Chain A
Amino acid sequence: GAGVSQSPSNKVTEKGKDVELRCDPISGHTALYWYRQSLGQGLEFLIYFQGNSAPDKSGLPSDRFSAERTGGSVSTLTIQRTQQEDSAVYLCASSLVIGRQRGVGGDTQYFGPGTRLTVL
């Protein structure tokens, strides 16, 4: 079946512009995650959605970053007034929600191909 898709695959923008990154999760996956992969920084959690709500936004690096999810499916990550340090690969993942009990093994996350953002 279809995996997680993301668009665009590459985005080059000028400092100060706004950008929108899109994620289309696997059909039926109610959990959706955004991560950022920067050179030398590894993988950084940004935000988690369960359905359309975002119970954990703790990873968003500043108030220039926001995300929404509509219809329990597609999600958009928006970066306002982009800065050069925002340059990174933005990865989206989705999962079924099976585990709920604290301390037990978590659900398997499936990743999209990522969007490479370059801020000039």
Chain B
Amino acid sequence: GNSVTQMEGPVTLSEEAFLTINCTYTATGYPSLFWYVQYPGEGLQLLLKATKADDKGSNKGFEATYRKETTSFHLEKGSVQVSDSAVYFCALSEVQRGYSTLTFGKGTMLLVSP
């Protein structure tokens, strides 16, 4: 079956530091890949996505590239802010049994200090 593995947190950084959150996946077909973000007390927000190999998703300074050869979709940001503190979920979506199934990683908490 499909699975997503992401680095355990918390990841603790100082403001303006470089961020990488690793994510690797296992899938039977050709999935779409996503990063969702969950701010404290809120629901999941779509951060970025990529639908095919070598696509780069980007939003709010975050980037991730769909790497089929390494089955990875690592999240990066060049300079984090305190407001980026949240839990980040890597996910893949694939059509199975006639509809889209979404498989999540366990989430990585990011804590950014001033």
A binding-site residues for B, Cβ under 8 Å: 6, 31, 33, 42-43, 45, 48, 50, 55-56, 91, 93, 95, 97, 99-114
CB B77 to nearest CB in A, in angstroms, measures 21
List A contacts of B28 (CB < 8 A). 103
A55, A100, A105, A107: most-surrounded residue (chain B CB, <10 A): A105
List B contacts of A43 (CB < 8 A). 89, 104
> Hey, what's the 0/1 contact readout for B40-51 against A, CB within 8 Å counting as 1?
001111100101
**CB nearest neighbor in B for A43:** B104
Q: What are 25 A-B interface contacts by the 8 Å CB criterion?
A: A42-B104, A42-B106, A43-B89, A45-B102, A48-B99, A55-B99, A91-B43, A91-B44, A93-B102, A99-B95, A100-B95, A101-B95, A102-B98, A103-B96, A104-B94, A104-B95, A105-B31, A106-B31, A108-B32, A108-B49, A108-B93, A109-B93, A111-B44, A111-B46, A114-B43
List A contacts of B43 (CB < 8 A). 6, 91, 111-114
- Tell me if B36 counts as interface (CB < 8 A to partner A): yes
B binding-site residues for A, Cβ under 8 Å: 28-32, 34, 36, 42-46, 49, 51-52, 89, 93-102, 104-107
**CB nearest neighbor in A for B104:** A43
Q: A95–B99 Cα gap in the complex (Å)?
A: 11
Q: Are B42 and A113 in contact (CB under 8 A)?
A: yes
List A contacts of B98 (CB < 8 A). 55, 100, 102
When A56-B99, A99-B100 are in contact, do A105 and B93 touch as well, CB less than 8 Å? yes
Q: A28–B46 Cα gap in the complex (Å)?
A: 18
**CB nearest neighbor in A for B95:** A99
CB B44 to nearest CB in A, in angstroms, measures 4
Q: A45–B99 Cα gap in the complex (Å)?
A: 13
